[in-house]
Structure 1
Amino acid sequence: MKQHDAQYYVSKLELDPHPEGGYYKRVFESEEQTSDKELTVEFEGMRKLYTSIYFLLGSKDISHFHRLKSDELWYYHAGSPLTVHLIDEHGEYKEYKLGTDLDNGEVPQVRVPKNSIFGSSVMDEDTFSLVGCMVSPGFEFRDFELFTQDELLSQYPQYKDVIMKLAYEVIPV
């Protein structure tokens, strides 16, 4: 099988820049919706049952720390393995390696629980990682929260190294 570079996938899958870093495209979404009254999560208005995107991150890119009100499932597709960095609701840091080298601790799927602060980085240099991300209840940008280094350091100073790597100094406008 021919090995492709990041630009091949960005072009062929028609990916756009994502505000957290990398590239994405929404590819599937539920036709069905649910309301905040039917869920244990507090949303404004209706939400699709699920949404799904392609997400591509280059090794020089960072998926900056952010938070969603929904669970997000990550699926490995191509390229280098990806590390998902997570600070859960209890303030515990966890790291998941998304890939197919099971003998090396990688897994092909990862769940990021709702309300976790998380970001990701490509494990190898000079490459990329292509994954799929499914959010349920469905993703809406109004539920998307980015963080600055100062915001996270005030709450989690023990994770300074990863915060300095994955959080924006200033959130871009």
Structure 2
Amino acid sequence: MTTTPEELIAHYRLEPIPREGGLFRRTWEGPEGADGRPAGSAIVALLTADDFCALHRLPTDEIWHFYLGDPLHLLLLAPDGTTRTEVLGPAPLSGQHVQLTVPARTWMGARVAPGGAWSFFGCTMAPGFTYADYEHGDAAGLTARYPSEAARITELCRP
């Protein structure tokens, strides 16, 4: 049985991710700590080839999990100035990841691999995500800091 993006959207009641792009649903949130943060959180998300996950960063590690669909290219811009692209996908023996940890304070942005149509994945954080943690990427600032990735940065930023 083949799963379609429309079936996933309906099943999980996915909604647009503010500013970042794609569709998501929070599937778990741990108990709230004394600081008001959840102990952890998890989401499922869907990206299609006509959308992207805008560059952003978070103050804690985030674990990405691949579930279904086409591979997802994840651009990572590290605090030390290095860059790399990782691929989430169904072929771990060919260098793709079914699970990948993005270190705290690393800029991350994603797009369905060229030729692909959609990707269904999840993200988990501990402590959990809060909207106050989200830092949206600025194309001018990021291209100045990571000039070797200027073209991809421009493609993965939105106002």
Choose 113-122 or 151-160, whichever is displaced more.
151-160
Shift of 1:142: 0.7
SS in 1 for 2:2: coil
Of structures 1 and 2, the larger Rg is shown by 1
Q: Could you say which residue in structure 2 is the equivalent of 1:38?
A: none
Of residues 101, 104, 117, the one that matches 2:94 is 104
Q: Are residues 1:140 and 2:139 paired? A: no
Determine if the alignment matches structure 1 residue 16 to structure 2 residue 15: yes
| AA in 1 matched with 2:29 | E
1:56 CA drift (Å)? 0.6
The CA distance in 2 between the partners of 1:100 and 1:154, in whole Å, is 34
Distance 2:6 2:57 in 1: 27
1:3 matched residue in structure 2: 2
Partner AA of 2:17 in structure 1: H
Give 5+ residue unaligned stretches, structure 2. none
User: For the Cα contact (< 8 Å) 2:70–2:116, is it kept in 1?
Assistant: no
Identical counterparts, % of pairs: 29
Q: Are the equivalent residues in 2 in contact too, given 1:68–1:144 (CA < 8 A)?
A: yes
Are the aligned partners of 2:71 and 2:116 in contact in 1 as well (CA < 8 Å)? Answer: no
Residue 151 of structure 1: how far off its partner (Å) = 2.0
1:83 CA drift (Å): 1.2
Aligned AA (1:16): E
Contact 1:73 1:111 (8 Å CA) reproduced? yes
| Aligned structure 1 segments of 4 or more residues deviating by more than 3 angstroms | none
User: Match of 1:48, SS?
Assistant: coil
Task: Please say if residues 61 and 102 of structure 2, whose CA atoms lie closer than 8 Å, have aligned partners that are also in contact.
Answer: yes
1:65-124 alpha-carbon deviations (Å, 9 max, x no partner): 001111100111111111111001111111111112123211110000110000111114
SS for the counterpart of 2:37 is strand
> Does the CA contact (< 8 Å) of 1:80 and 1:123 recur in 2?
yes
Q: What's the TM-score once normalised by structure 1's chain length? A: 0.86
After superposition, residues 1-173 of structure 1 pair within 5 angstroms as 2-19=1-18, 20-33=20-33, 45-125=35-115, 127-168=117-158, 171=159
Indicate how the Cα distance of structure 1 residues 126 and 83 shifts in structure 2: closer, same or farther if over 3 A, else same: closer
Contact 2:57 2:134 in 1 (8 A): yes
Aligned length: 158
Structure 1 residues not aligned, in runs of 5+ = 36-44
Structure 1 distance, partners of 2:47, 2:113, is 11
1:150 CA drift (Å) = 1.2
1:18 Cα deviation after fit? 0.7
